[in-house]
Chains A and B, each alone.
Chain A
């Protein structure tokens, strides 16, 4: 097909016919000025603790929420196969639940319409999965089911479910993790295939949170301390989110330390200004907290603990109301302001 025709065709498809008319004399805002303003705002908090915007989700939870991977059939044919897992990570002996769903996908080009076979998400699809370790090779082949029998929860709801218990013999070295790809194939009675690939981490952290926490005010910040049991010397990363009793996230914090085998307390300071800005004195809830073993990639992620601790009651006057003044951001803002075009 002629390139120009193809280009026009795809342009029409991708922009749509209902796009707003060409605007009169649009201008770009001053990027340097915008960036400088944003850096001055960000500089009020240290790199190790940030306020969470009002109404925004818990950032630690958001990064640990499994997402779907979706691929259509040949030439974009519907339905697409969408796959996800119950967690981003699992450890030896854990059972990870794997999900799949056939979802309608609107065709994006004429070829997909022309080649459509009439396959439907409601066909009787048969789904199988292959779990492949980056180092271990094929670990298992599993069947997905939608009959309401374990691990499937509801028969006929269109969500196919499989599960896999991670075997000890393929356990990664302590302190490390392995990428496990989940390759899923769906086939309808007409033997039309769909493929998608998801994944999770087979993790073997070198330390664990014991579940003991304590808190105090230090230098105008709320310092949460987490007890960790270290099994092997490594670098560890601790992060968490504090929330109001209503569950509304207030601030996140992160820290890293290299530790020897033993039981340790790790400090996780939350910057005081966050509590002032939200105007919420009182008891705070450690909404989410997790400890990972770093030092190699993929990191050996630890489990995400929810509502692990309630702090004692604090008054706002105990916390600093002063901006942190992050030096490198303020310096970048100054340079940008000199460069600002308008």
Chain B
């Protein structure tokens, strides 16, 4: 985000004094990382990054923070660049460190308690934001292949507590394959137009092994918890394998090992022992939301348990595919996890 720290400080102070609700120090600070972009708007203008999480009167951040009871910080980065680029992973790492120091984001929001004062930080990442976090958290140690590649990944990994991804493109997207593979006519083109074109970010979100984040990272240093949608986007979903949110298929949302194009559903998606890395990825649940709903809280719908998921029924893990909620957005779901 192209803001000076001085300006951030002034904006932050004003916002804190005038408008900020009282954040509870015991709550984690939620740090939001958006997904792929077709322009640099969220990087150049913080308001665009903030609006990524809003649709009409629905505000994912407001809901996830329980009406701002928990503090938050919104990151904007260059979502047109590959997940490993300085404009993406580098910028995200810098901003996470800034957040953990208690400094404000471009809109003046800051974490209630800094890391030095004992704060806890949960990163909430959507879509490509998940891929960016995989790269950062998988290259935080000097033994990793791309240690601190273009930012303070080690500090990020030390300071954040965990990450939650919603519709994360951990194994890429078959939508990106369609966009970059000269897909034929029909609804796959609709899907390609949703992604728009095979730009650099899209090309690095293909399913091929030579661009996968796991090829260039180790297991994440902090746990990554996985949730995602199974509401189809009519037509586009036909091009994706198994359940999907219209852009990303389950094999990727749930960071599965093996072929990313295996057809999974809520009953059989990979559990915690068959992930893209040896450790660090854990299932939460699935929602009847599409790729947009997952980040704008506009569709309060059913939620279902997935294998090794977070929901318990009568004290034991609910069976996979059990409907656990009849009307709950992913934002509400996150708000009940802390």
Contact = CB atoms under 8 A, between A and B. Distances in A.
Interface of A: 1, 6-7, 9-11, 13-16, 19-29, 31-32, 34-35, 38-39, 42, 47-48, 50, 52-53, 56, 59, 62-63, 65-77, 82, 88-89, 106-109, 111-112, 115, 134, 179-183, 185, 193-201, 237, 252, 254-256, 292, 294, 297-299, 301, 328, 332, 335-336, 338-339, 341
B19 interface: no
B336 A28 contact: yes
B322 interface: yes
B181 A196 contact: yes
Interface string B297-338: 000001011000011111000110111111000000100111
Contacts, number: 261
Nearest to A41: B279
Interface residues of B, number: 95
A197 B206 contact: yes
B181 A70 contact: no
A335 B210 contact: no
Contacts of A115: 186
Contacts of B333: 28
Contact of A341 (B144, B181, B223, B338): B338
Interface stretch (B48-56, B103-111, B226-234): B226-234
A75 B312 contact: no
Contacts of B313: 23-26
24 contacts: A11-B288, A14-B243, A19-B323, A23-B313, A25-B314, A28-B336, A31-B338, A34-B282, A38-B282, A47-B144, A48-B143, A50-B219, A56-B273, A62-B257, A67-B207, A69-B260, A73-B184, A111-B187, A115-B186, A185-B182, A197-B181, A237-B145, A298-B210, A299-B215
Interface of B (DSSP majority class):
loop
B237 to A, nearest CB: 6
Q: Which 9 A-B pairs have the closest CB atoms?
A: A74-B186, A76-B238, A197-B181, A199-B208, A10-B232, A26-B324, A70-B261, A47-B141, A48-B143
B310 A31 contact: yes
Contacts of A193: 184
Interface of B: 26-28, 82, 84, 118-120, 140-147, 149, 157-158, 161-162, 174, 177-178, 180-188, 203, 206-211, 214-216, 218-219, 221-223, 225, 230-235, 237-241, 243, 257-261, 263, 265-266, 273, 277-279, 282, 288, 302, 304-305, 310-314, 318-319, 321-326, 333, 336-338
